[in-house]
Structure 1
Amino acid sequence: MSLWARVNQLPQPILEQIRFIYGSNFPIEVRHYLADWIEERLLNAPVYTNDQEAVYEQDAANFLNQLIMELERTAINLPESNFTIKIRLNESARNFRQLFSHNPAQLYQHLMNCLHRERQCVAYPDECVNVQDPEVTEVFNAVQQLQIMVRTNENDNRNLMKEYEHLLLEVHELQKNRAQLETIENAEMRAHAHNQLAQHQKMVNDRLQLCTGKRLALVDGFRKTILITDEVQNKVLNKYLSQWKINQGFAGNGASTMSASNLDTIQAWCESLAEIIWSTKDQIRLAIKNKSKLHVEQEDVPDLLPQAMVDVTNLLKMLITNTFIIEKQPPQVMKTNTRFAATVRLLVGNTLNIKMVNPQVKVSIISEAQAQQTQQTNKASEQSCGEIMNNIGNLEYNETTKQLSVSFRNMQLKKIKRAEKKGTECVMDEKFALLFQSSFAVGHGDLVFSVWTISLPVVVIVHGNQEPQSWATITWDNAFADINRIPFQVPDKVIWNQLAEALNMKFRASTGRSLTAENMHFLCEKAFKTNLPFPVPNDLTIMWSQFCKEPIPDRSFTFWDWFYAAMKVTREHLRGPWMDGSIIGFIHKSKAEDYLLKCPRGTFLLRFSDSELGGITIAWVNEGNDGQPQILHIQPFTAKDFSTRSLSDRIRDFDDLFYLYPNKPKHEAFDRYTTPAGPPRNKNYIASEVRAVLMPGPTNNQMNSFPNTPSYNIQSPDASRDTPSTGYATSGRVSNTSASCSLQHRYAVSSFEPYVQSDGFTQSVMMAPGTTLSSLVRPPPALSVLSTSSNCSNSTTATTGGHYQHQGLMEQQQQHQHQQQQQQQQQHQQQQQHQQQHQQQQQHHHHHNQMSNHLQSAHSPGHGVQNHPQLQQPQQHYD
């Protein structure tokens, strides 16, 4: 027995799986009619090694050519009664030549994989069926049973039609005999003819009774077929297809529940149901037609065929209208005047010849109230609340995928009309939807269907800063929408654990790694603004207002704002370290300090800042003046900082950080993410590097030297207050740079001095006051000049707040001199001009000496967190 013969003995669910394995590019009819030919050439095919690639390609090409020839030969030899199969085989030959001529190995390997799967299913059939949902198997079995019932009804209908034909002949003969009886004048002959007529009448009555019985049996068969079809169709549409639509919402939150094969399976069911319904409808129509020809009716027998026709037509209408779906949803946060795409698909378009007319599909945007009205009346209206460009397309049939669909690729929302807001509602809470509608005829044109479908809810924005709150609306809706809800109603209160799973789903899809149980417990405490047991109770509920409306205590932002900002900065700048577990992120500050106090000096961890949206801070162990460990927190970095220098590069810059908590050397954790040094953009310049350095607060004596500079001091952790953050700056090592490059010196007024390089180019170099050219050209080993990269338009340095400023050198120099002159004029207005100049020289000389001492101390080997004079911000505390 051939492999294909054994495959056909397997249960229907396995056969359906095998059908999907072959896919749309290899029709199952080819496998059936060329079964022996395919198995003869592929079941014992040689195993190719890597060095036999050329042989493999040649064998694949030969197989493709032979397959096409065999298909054409088989099609010619088939009888004319198999006309549709002949067309199918010839069509497959053309498709194979078109699709695989440039890559015959693709088809060859695909068939090898399919045969391997067939062998597995024959050897281990129980392992080929997904038994997790027994109803899936029930659907396959029910469809198979319905197909058998349809064939039975066809046979019964055919037999009934033959009985009707015999009955019509008998009735015609009876009427003829009755007419002849009237012409017989002989009484004896008349009596004899009358007896024969009575017998004939009895025979006709018996045949009529037989036809009536068969007709009732046929009607009963129709009714049973319709009832079972209704049950199976309800299961397919209301369970599997509805769940697929709900999964689209989950996918909008990041779930990986969407599968093309799931929709293809549903389409296969729907196509089978469409064939069953249409065949049943056609048989009922034929039965009604045959019955009308008879002109004989029994008064005591009800005519059930018209009602059967109504029922089967309703089934067809329900199937067609529910299988008009949105395969690819539009973006759920939609910005005006921005292009977007969507795809709609008709799952039964291949079976009802709808593909022949390419129906037109129109798209409009509707409000929530209009969506409710459309669902209530089951009729799409021409109302809309906005204007969409490029909103008309035609359903087209794809021979390769066997799908009837239309893709809108360049739609654009130009205008939107909003409803009046109530209470605390804002535009980011308002939901809209896209309405897709079409109309087409099926069959012989006697049935016209108007179909429509509504997208998942959409929030319309006009500016990017409206995205966070808009995604709060969409995330809540996608997570808690009911299958049979009124658009677009969702509960105001939900179970926290369900919301936590939705947040986890969204964070995983956005950043690549799931949240841990500890992470979600942290989020729970943050959302509820209180300490909670671990794990949290299963019945703990959270309100919509707690989720995204009420600010966190002592903050100006909500829980969702904080979560969304953390997710965004992780996705855009921290994905690598987050995915490999180098970032803890979601941890309380106090718990982080407890962890670090048990670790050696230089151990650090990363956590999301409580006080700054999208900020991530580094907490690390330092040694205090008394020799005891103290925990310091670097002022949070944000996306703006990472756009200039990455987190990994900054961690590499900080010499005080040694081990990632608990004990992993920082180079092992972050070196893979650091930015490699690139070549100079111009060979005439020497490249420089932006670096981040820690900038702790100065001592009191140093503060007296800079009376106008606000500052703060590093202190040990204290349970009664927040631990202050440590500022940071950016430095670089550079020998010289272009005259047009602006370098910002942080400690004193700089000056320019031209000199000639060895290559003959004259350059101007910024120097600190009192610095000579020779000392700049040959700096001491422990001394480096604070500078920026060799960008010849602006320099880049970091302020104590951690944000890079872009200022030209000349602008900085002029501003500093102007401020210095104003201060001198206010303090010495009554003094003479020569006394003012003398005092300025003394202050200038004193300032330069302090800076020189500071630079030598700051860049000496082995320095840690020291007290540097600097430009600082007022004292701040950060979580």
Structure 2
Amino acid sequence: MAQWATIQQYPQATRQIQSIYSSQFPIEVRHFLAQWIEDQPWMSIETDNPQHESVASTLLEQLVINLSNKVQEFEGDQFFPIRLKLQEATATFKQNYEQNPFQLVRVIKNCLQMEKNLIEQAKAPEQKVESTPMVPSVSAQIELKLEEQVQRTQTSEQTLKHLQSEQESFIIQYQDSLKITAQIQQLQSPQQTTEIVAKEAMLRKEKEKVEQQLSQKAQELLQHRITIALYYNSTLMGLQELQKQVLDTELIQWKRQQQQAGNGAPLNEGLETLQKWCEQLADLIWQNRQQIKKVNLLRAQLPIDLPPGTKNLLPELNDSITGLLSSLVTSTFIVETQPPQVLKKDARFAATVRLLVGGKLNVHMNPPQVKATIISEKQAQDLLKSDVKAKNEMSGEILNNVGTMEYQSSSGQLSITFRNMQLKKIKRADRKGTEAVTEEKFCILFQSDFNVGGNELVFQVWTLSLPVVVTVHGNQECNALATILWDNAFSSPGRNPFEVPESVLWPLLAEQLNVKFKAATGRGLTDDNIKYLASKILGQSDDYTNMAVSWVHFNKEALPGRNFTFWEWFYAVLKLTKEHLKSPWNDGSIIGFISKFQAQEWLLTKTNGTFLLRYSDSEMGGITIAWVADNGKLEVWNLAPFTSKDFSIRGLADRIKDLSNLAYLYPDIPKNQAFSKYYVSNPEQPSSSIDGYIKPTLVNVIPVPYGAPMNYDNPQTPQLMSPLSPATTIYDRSPGSVQSTQQNVEEMTTDANQIHLDDFLMGDMDYNYPDDFGQINVNELLTNSNLTAT
């Protein structure tokens, strides 16, 4: 079945097919010549091979002939719109492609390939169709539009050359007319001979003929000027639409991705493509601007009055094309590498600024300087309101803040990297209400002046960095990061600096927490993790989809019964995991986000010695081990949380190895299988000596009363560890059932201080110590041992 017929069978593809075609290749031509188009060897033509040009020319001729024949088939008034459209297409093909038949081949090949892509997507399973956009590549659409504008610019260039040639011919002919007039004046004398009279009559006849020709040419020149002005107006509209798509959609999208990358999301490396598009736009706009200026020059050389009621478009076109160039230059002055968004006073920081069209417009021929200053939220607002004074205002002092842009010929990049900036002073604004220092936002303002076209045009440009929060102490980092996360995640494009919503839906916040955690640790959050976090900040609910979280709830108000906010707790967990637990978190050994009650329920269904790791609810940046033990009664115990300070002394894996009470990582993985790859020490073997000394090894141990010792590991030298807390519910196991009873912890434990360390070392718990140590004669002991005190 023909490709065109196939694509019409899929409604999804049919809805998108219109976007493939443009004035370069109207969809009506594709429809009425469908079979002929698909029968031609377009794909085998190499557009960079001169030997294939004759084949491309032949196909163009055949296309025009077939199209002309098709026009003849549509007779009658009812077919007038179709006939007119096909006639316009015929004229367009002749005008656009006769000098460059390869361009037609490229256009048709691109259209046919995008049709195939649409058909393949439409044939895919329904669920895949939903996840795959049924639209041609945005990049392909932009490339096609750029090609169209290149073709239009080339066409107008040829038309302009023809207009110049016609005007020069007119001027030469006009000079001939002046010569004839001079000759006639010379023949004017009182004595008129027959020969002079005949000569004068001949000259007057010739003059009349020349003047008729001049009048006709003047009319043609005038019509050419009107036509080319309308053509430039159409080209300008196309360039405006294309530039809007590149700058207001694609570049804004890249900036949005850059902002999301501040929260840990991956940044699409699409800046080089954007630079290529912007450079092509700059080239096209500059060429059309020069052409319009040339038309104005021709008009000044030979003024011809426009017909009454006809508007002179040239002055307006010149202003519009210059404005388009100005918009392109100012919009493509961007911050390529953002400064740190939590900016510590007196710390060095870096940033990179780039002009995407610098190489194409030869801005680098007069390398511009760039200045960086820090401004407040209010000053940024004034700047966007075109307040002239705002460019000279600042809210602090930055060292090493001025530099010259450099051009890299290999990449065509014009940029500058400030490597050693340092914020020395900061002026804070009056805070609003309960706003904290870490909620105050600043930004870095970059300014420069660009000369284009040999100082023909001078553009004053500036751009703002993403918001930054200035801190003076490390303990402000956590809350500053909360401000930045909220701003990066939920600010809208084109906002008034630096407005953000007061509350957002939980799913949106959960997505950002997941992105942040994944970027920091390597693995994101599961659905169960996210549900646990939702319950922590919003309370218990069956559905969190439409529940909102406010900024105040996120990082202003403390969690119920705690002295820290939700974000402070989450950030502490993230930091602990990133710095000490990344590997076991990534391989799934840490469940982490689970409540104490849920952990109990899970463990009480498992074998003695089964344990899991969960983040502490009560201590920021803590992780606890919960395990099940059976001393005739089934009970769940929780170790006091470990923190970064603990893990800087001894790692998690080695601490787990020390504890013989722990046998299986939930649900049933032997602990050595789960953690042996992370062991970094072996307490069972003697430590190496250093300068004659034996290095001791710290070992964790759980006191015996808190769960019977397991024999899964070799006995180890015990040392009392941090306090631990038992589960509040103790279960008594009987055959066939698990019965719950409440019991006080004190009733089931023995005072740990009554267990003597020597009993363990000697292996004899029945040894009788003297009641009174004062009865021991130490001197006698020393004498019997032949020891002499000195």
Aligned to 1:653: 658
Question: Is the contact between residue 698 and residue 713 of structure 1 (CA under 8 Å) also seen in structure 2?
Answer: no
Aligned to 2:421: 411
- Superposition deviation, residue 176 in structure 1: 2.9
Aligned to 2:636: 631
1:403-552 pair list within 5 angstroms? 403-528=413-538, 530-533=539-542, 536-552=543-559
Question: Is the contact between residue 263 and residue 488 of structure 2 (CA under 8 Å) also seen in structure 1?
Answer: yes
Distance 1:476 1:715, change over 3 A: closer
Question: Is the contact between residue 696 and residue 714 of structure 1 (CA under 8 Å) also seen in structure 2?
Answer: no
Aligned to 2:30: none
CA distance in structure 2 between the partners assigned to 1:205 and 1:384 by the alignment: 65
Q: Please point out which of 709, 717, 720 is paired with 2:729.
A: 717
> In the alignment, residue 396 of structure 1 is paired with which amino acid?
E
- Superposition deviation, residue 458 in structure 1: 0.3
1:51-130 pair list within 5 angstroms? none
Question: Is the contact between residue 697 and residue 712 of structure 1 (CA under 8 Å) also seen in structure 2?
Answer: no
SS where residue 451 of structure 2 aligns?
Answer: strand
- Superposition deviation, residue 746 in structure 1: 12
Indicate yes or no: 2:175 matched with 1:163.
no
- Superposition deviation, residue 487 in structure 1: 1.1
SS where residue 410 of structure 1 aligns?
Answer: strand
> In the alignment, residue 285 of structure 2 is paired with which amino acid?
I
Aligned to 1:664: 669
- Superposition deviation, residue 781 in structure 1: 7.0
Farther off after superposition, 631-640 or 369-378: 369-378
The root-mean-square deviation of aligned C-alpha atoms, in Å, is 3.5
Question: Is the contact between residue 349 and residue 404 of structure 1 (CA under 8 Å) also seen in structure 2?
Answer: yes
- Superposition deviation, residue 209 in structure 1: 1.0
Aligned to 2:26: none
SS where residue 162 of structure 1 aligns?
Answer: helix
Question: Is the contact between residue 253 and residue 505 of structure 1 (CA under 8 Å) also seen in structure 2?
Answer: yes
Question: Is the contact between residue 521 and residue 582 of structure 2 (CA under 8 Å) also seen in structure 1?
Answer: yes
SS where residue 482 of structure 1 aligns?
Answer: coil
Question: Is the contact between residue 633 and residue 724 of structure 1 (CA under 8 Å) also seen in structure 2?
Answer: no
Distance 1:841 1:594, change over 3 A: closer
Aligned to 1:282: 290
SS where residue 344 of structure 1 aligns?
Answer: strand
CA distance in structure 2 between the partners assigned to 1:326 and 1:417 by the alignment: 24
Distance 1:636 1:474, change over 3 A: same
Aligned to 1:361: 370
Aligned to 2:249: 239
Q: Alpha-carbon deviations, 1:714-760, whole Å to 9, x = none?
A: 565279999989xxxxxxxxxxxxxxxxxxx9999xxxxxxxxxxxx
Farther off after superposition, 514-523 or 212-221: 212-221
Q: TM-score, normalised by structure 1?
A: 0.66
Q: Alpha-carbon deviations, 1:390-449, whole Å to 9, x = none?
A: 111111111233211111111111110000012110110000000111112011211001
CA distance in structure 1 between the partners assigned to 2:496 and 2:298 by the alignment: 46
Question: Is the contact between residue 431 and residue 488 of structure 1 (CA under 8 Å) also seen in structure 2?
Answer: yes
Question: Is the contact between residue 469 and residue 484 of structure 2 (CA under 8 Å) also seen in structure 1?
Answer: yes
> In the alignment, residue 612 of structure 1 is paired with which amino acid?
E
> In the alignment, residue 578 of structure 1 is paired with which amino acid?
W
Report the number of matched residues: 617
Question: Is the contact between residue 687 and residue 694 of structure 2 (CA under 8 Å) also seen in structure 1?
Answer: no
CA distance in structure 1 between the partners assigned to 2:215 and 2:419 by the alignment: 67
Aligned to 1:44: none
> In the alignment, residue 410 of structure 2 is paired with which amino acid?
T
- Superposition deviation, residue 32 in structure 1: 7.0
SS where residue 461 of structure 2 aligns?
Answer: strand
> In the alignment, residue 694 of structure 2 is paired with which amino acid?
I
SS where residue 273 of structure 2 aligns?
Answer: helix
Distance 1:518 1:159, change over 3 A: same
Distance 1:141 1:682, change over 3 A: same
Aligned to 2:584: 577
Distance 1:715 1:198, change over 3 A: closer
Aligned to 2:181: 178
- Superposition deviation, residue 242 in structure 1: 0.3
Indicate yes or no: 2:614 matched with 1:607.
yes
Question: Is the contact between residue 638 and residue 726 of structure 2 (CA under 8 Å) also seen in structure 1?
Answer: no
Distance 1:522 1:35, change over 3 A: farther
Aligned to 1:370: 379
Indicate yes or no: 2:647 matched with 1:642.
yes
SS where residue 282 of structure 1 aligns?
Answer: helix
Q: Alpha-carbon deviations, 1:143-196, whole Å to 9, x = none?
A: 000000010011001111101100111222223323433343356655554443
SS where residue 693 of structure 2 aligns?
Answer: coil
Aligned to 2:788: none
> In the alignment, residue 479 of structure 1 is paired with which amino acid?
A
CA distance in structure 2 between the partners assigned to 1:444 and 1:243 by the alignment: 33
Q: Alpha-carbon deviations, 1:38-81, whole Å to 9, x = none?
A: xxxxxxxxxxxxxxxxxxxxxxxxxxxxxxxxxxxxxxxxxxxx
Q: Alpha-carbon deviations, 1:189-222, whole Å to 9, x = none?
A: 5555444323222211111111111122211221
Question: Is the contact between residue 630 and residue 716 of structure 1 (CA under 8 Å) also seen in structure 2?
Answer: no
Indicate yes or no: 2:277 matched with 1:269.
yes
Q: Alpha-carbon deviations, 1:823-859, whole Å to 9, x = none?
A: xxxxxxxxxxxxxxxxx9936789x9xxxxxxxxxxx
> In the alignment, residue 145 of structure 1 is paired with which amino acid?
E
Indicate yes or no: 2:313 matched with 1:304.
yes
Q: Alpha-carbon deviations, 1:250-284, whole Å to 9, x = none?
A: 1011111x132x11111111011011001111111
Q: Please point out which of 332, 335, 342 is paired with 1:333.
A: 342
CA distance in structure 2 between the partners assigned to 1:652 and 1:664 by the alignment: 14
Farther off after superposition, 595-604 or 349-358: 349-358
CA distance in structure 1 between the partners assigned to 2:244 and 2:207 by the alignment: 54
SS where residue 717 of structure 1 aligns?
Answer: strand
> In the alignment, residue 282 of structure 2 is paired with which amino acid?
A
Q: Please point out which of 290, 294, 305 is paired with 2:302.
A: 294
- Superposition deviation, residue 244 in structure 1: 0.5
SS where residue 619 of structure 1 aligns?
Answer: strand
Aligned to 2:710: none
Question: Is the contact between residue 398 and residue 421 of structure 2 (CA under 8 Å) also seen in structure 1?
Answer: yes
- Superposition deviation, residue 683 in structure 1: 4.6
Q: Alpha-carbon deviations, 1:648-675, whole Å to 9, x = none?
A: 1111111100001110011111111121
Aligned to 2:259: 249
Distance 1:378 1:172, change over 3 A: farther
Aligned to 1:684: 692
SS where residue 448 of structure 1 aligns?
Answer: strand
- Superposition deviation, residue 692 in structure 1: 1.1
Question: Is the contact between residue 632 and residue 724 of structure 1 (CA under 8 Å) also seen in structure 2?
Answer: no
Instruction: Point out where structure 1 has 5 or more consecutive residues left out of the alignment.
Output: 1-10, 13-30, 37-120, 700-709, 726-744, 749-767, 785-839, 849-879
Distance 1:32 1:720, change over 3 A: farther
> In the alignment, residue 169 of structure 2 is paired with which amino acid?
H
Distance 1:502 1:133, change over 3 A: farther
Query: How high is the sequence identity, in percent, across the aligned residues?
Result: 40
CA distance in structure 2 between the partners assigned to 1:841 and 1:462 by the alignment: 60
Distance 1:254 1:746, change over 3 A: farther
CA distance in structure 2 between the partners assigned to 1:459 and 1:167 by the alignment: 69
- Superposition deviation, residue 375 in structure 1: 1.5
- Superposition deviation, residue 688 in structure 1: 2.2
Question: Is the contact between residue 257 and residue 268 of structure 2 (CA under 8 Å) also seen in structure 1?
Answer: no
Instruction: Point out where structure 2 has 5 or more consecutive residues left out of the alignment.
Output: 1-19, 22-46, 53-112, 122-131, 708-721, 731-739, 747-752, 779-790
SS where residue 691 of structure 1 aligns?
Answer: coil
Q: TM-score, normalised by structure 2?
A: 0.73
CA distance in structure 2 between the partners assigned to 1:609 and 1:541 by the alignment: 25
Indicate yes or no: 2:766 matched with 1:842.
no
Distance 1:724 1:132, change over 3 A: farther
CA distance in structure 2 between the partners assigned to 1:724 and 1:375 by the alignment: 65
